[in-house]
């Protein structure tokens, strides 16, 4: 049992990372902690791996899993051990526990993570690899990482995931990519197999697997650039879309910051909220769209751009804004000229929050001019022209000008 257990601040909970090699891979402190615990929690697989050490009560996680950790918290002050896969604080149960248990009450003994084990088998520099957990998440989350020459290590959910990811790669123009499936790493059933996405034919894949990707793209590959202002043809739309150049300037004005929530009022194609989410994995967004076809289109675009977590609210503002979580930032595009939208948005915005609104009609522009006069902020006029044929020659064809109002709530 850890020496710290009897310290003035009692560490009643020990979290032990365990690998597929079971007891053989544990250090002495971890073995003592498991043996001394009156209650040992973990998945059935973890409990089986450590069975020879367990002297107290084995407690498999309840189904469905209790993210509030009620059973563990109910034993506060007793000698409790939790078994976790590898590193408990890398997409693991340690993160969940830390939300409910003070770190001063917890002792953590990690083991190598699945990412570390995979990198060691492949000889890859882990700091140069994209790592992502698809365990319990949509595989579409991998889409923003699909770039020529990239290496990705992904945690998966089951034995079917590698086949589905291979199909996604092939459909996205990455069929030439090498896929290495690493199964039951560190255990007696460890197996490593490599194939190509377009001809993926591996069978009987262990549900406990990690997928390593070496990406090769074709000229037609669907790649999401790292800068704001994605090409318009990456989005399905009916013409109701903030065009690429205007979108890039708008994202700059929205100025995403870690963890913020965006309301995209009048979502259209969802391009603004999708690009917002692509800026960082901690960002959140809600697209509000009254047109049912467009709302469905927003959801499809979000999936195809690798941000399936975009929440789509079907309804018209301002009524549809009621009961939504408080936004940090608001964008108003289509529908902003409806009565009450600006008042409702400004009222809902937290102090210090930012609002950006774009206008292409005279009616909407008049609203922005009035708001600027009464509230201050910044006004910007954006005009884009594109070269186009003029008879046998070429000339500039202007797009509709856009007036943009940006404002920070006092």
Residue 1 confidence class, pLDDT cut points 50, 70, 90: very low
Same domain? For 129 and 97 the reply is no
Contact 35, 56 (CB under 8 A): no
Give the count of beta carbons closer than 10 Å to the beta carbon of residue 374.
8
Same domain? For 258 and 132 the reply is no
pLDDT at 201: 95
| Residue 226 forms part of a structural domain | no
Contact 241, 266 (CB under 8 A): no
Could you tell me the CA-to-CA distances from 351 to 14, 292, 327, 328 in Å, in that order?
A: 42, 32, 10, 8
Range of the domain at 363: 232-408
pLDDT at 2: 47
Structure tokens at 89: 């604080």
| 224-246 pLDDT per residue, tens | 999 999 999 999 999 889 999 99
**Which residues of 217-362 form beta strands (DSSP E)?**
261-265, 284-289, 311-314, 329-332, 354-359
| 243-262 pLDDT per residue, tens | 999 999 999 999 999 999 99
Indicate the residue among 48, 77, 111 that finishes a domain: 111
Indicate the residue among 111, 139, 174 that finishes a domain: 111
The pLDDT mean for the chain works out to 95
Same domain? For 163 and 286 the reply is no
Structure tokens at 170: 């092939």
| Residue 197 forms part of a structural domain | yes
Same domain? For 33 and 73 the reply is yes
Q: What's the order of all strands across the beta sheet hosting 311-314?
A: 311-314, 284-289, 261-265, 329-332, 354-359, 402-408, 378-382
Could you tell me the CA-to-CA distances from 303 to 102, 173, 200, 299 in Å, in that order?
A: 37, 17, 23, 6
Indicate the residue among 111, 137, 153 that finishes a domain: 111
**Of 119, 193, 122, which is closest to residue 159 (Cα–Cα)?**
193
Residue 21 has pLDDT above 90, yes or no: yes
| Residue 172 forms part of a structural domain | yes
Same domain? For 281 and 356 the reply is yes
pLDDT at 336: 67
Same domain? For 285 and 379 the reply is yes
**Which residues of 141-220 form beta strands (DSSP E)?**
151-155, 178-183, 191-196, 209-214
| Residue 183 forms part of a structural domain | yes
| Residue 62 forms part of a structural domain | yes
Residue 398 burial by Cβ neighbours in a 10 Å radius (0-12, 13-18, 19+): exposed
What is the average per-residue pLDDT within 316-345? Answer: 90
| Residue 323 forms part of a structural domain | yes
Contact 335, 305 (CB under 8 A): no
Helices (H) and strands (E) in the chain, counts: 11, 19
Structure tokens at 408: 């920070």
| 45-57 pLDDT per residue, tens | 999 999 999 999 9
Of the chain, the percentage scoring pLDDT greater than 90 comes to: 95
Beta strands 80-85; 13-18: pairing state: parallel
| 59-107 pLDDT per residue, tens | 999 999 999 999 999 999 999 999 999 999 999 999 999 999 999 999 9
CATH code of the domain covering residue 30 = 3.40.1010.10
| 156-194 pLDDT per residue, tens | 989 999 999 999 999 999 999 999 999 999 999 999 999
| 267-305 pLDDT per residue, tens | 999 999 999 999 999 999 999 999 999 999 999 999 999
Residue 338 has pLDDT above 80, yes or no: no
Same domain? For 209 and 322 the reply is no
pLDDT at 9: 56
| Residue 63 forms part of a structural domain | yes
Residue 335 has pLDDT above 80, yes or no: no
Give the chain's domain count: 3
Same domain? For 290 and 387 the reply is yes
pLDDT at 108: 97
Same domain? For 294 and 367 the reply is yes
On the CB side of 300, how many CA atoms lie within 13 Å of its CA? 12
Residue 6 has pLDDT above 70, yes or no: no
| Residue 246 forms part of a structural domain | yes
pLDDT at 3: 43
Same domain? For 203 and 267 the reply is no
Same domain? For 263 and 380 the reply is yes
Same domain? For 43 and 143 the reply is no
| Least confident among 24-33, 136-145, 296-305, 330-339 | 330-339
User: Residue 150, Cα to own-chain centre: how many angstroms?
Assistant: 18
CATH code of the domain covering residue 198 = 3.30.950.10
pLDDT at 240: 85
Residue 376 has pLDDT above 80, yes or no: yes
């Amino acid at each position: 049992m850890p020496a710290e257990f009897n310290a003035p601040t009692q560490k009643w909970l020990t979290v032990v990372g365990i690998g597929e090699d079971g007891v053989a891979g544990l250090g002495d402190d971890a073995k003592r902690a498991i043996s001394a615990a009156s209650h040992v929690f973990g998945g059935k697989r973890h409990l089986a791996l450590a069975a020879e050490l367990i002297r107290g009560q084995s407690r498999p996680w309840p189904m469905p899993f209790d993210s509030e950790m009620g059973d563990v918290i109910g034993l506060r002050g007793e000698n409790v051990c939790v078994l976790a896969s590898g590193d408990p604080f890398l997409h693991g149960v340690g993160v969940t526990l830390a939300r409910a248990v003070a770190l001063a009450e917890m002792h953590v003994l990690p083991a190598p993570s699945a990412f570390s084990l995979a990198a060691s088998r492949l000889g890859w520099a882990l700091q140069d690899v994209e790592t992502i957990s698809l365990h319990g998440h949509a595989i579409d989350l991998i889409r923003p990482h699909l770039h020529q020459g990239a290496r990705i290590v992904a945690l998966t959910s089951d034995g079917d995931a590698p086949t589905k990811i291979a199909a996604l790669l092939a459909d996205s123009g990455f069929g030439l990519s090498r896929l290495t499936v690493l199964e039951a790493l560190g255990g007696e059933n460890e197996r490593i197999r490599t194939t190509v996405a377009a001809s993926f034919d591996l069978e009987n894949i262990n549900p406990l697997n990690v997928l390593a990707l070496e990406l090769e793209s074709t000229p037609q590959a669907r790649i999401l650039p790292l800068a704001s202002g994605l090409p318009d043809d990456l989005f399905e739309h009916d013409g109701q879309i903030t065009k690429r150049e205007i979108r890039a300037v708008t994202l700059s004005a929205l100025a995403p910051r870690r963890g913020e929530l965006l309301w995209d009022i009048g979502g259209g194609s969802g391009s603004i909220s999708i690009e917002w989410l692509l800026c960082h994995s901690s960002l959140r967004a809600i697209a509000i769209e009254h047109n049912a076809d467009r709302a469905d289109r927003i959801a499809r675009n979000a999936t195809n751009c690798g941000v399936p977590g975009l929440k789509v609210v079907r309804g018209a503002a301002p009524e549809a804004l009621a009961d939504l979580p408080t936004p940090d930032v608001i964008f108003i595009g289509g529908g902003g000229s409806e009565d009450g939208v600006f008042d409702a948005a400004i009222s809902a915005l937290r102090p210090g929050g930012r609002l950006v609104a774009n206008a292409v009609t005279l009616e909407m522009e008049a609203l922005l001019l009035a708001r600027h006069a009464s509230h201050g902020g910044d006004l910007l006029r954006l005009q884009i022209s594109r070269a186009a044929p003029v008879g046998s020659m070429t000339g500039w064809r202007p797009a509709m000008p856009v007036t943009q109002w940006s404002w920070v709530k006092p």
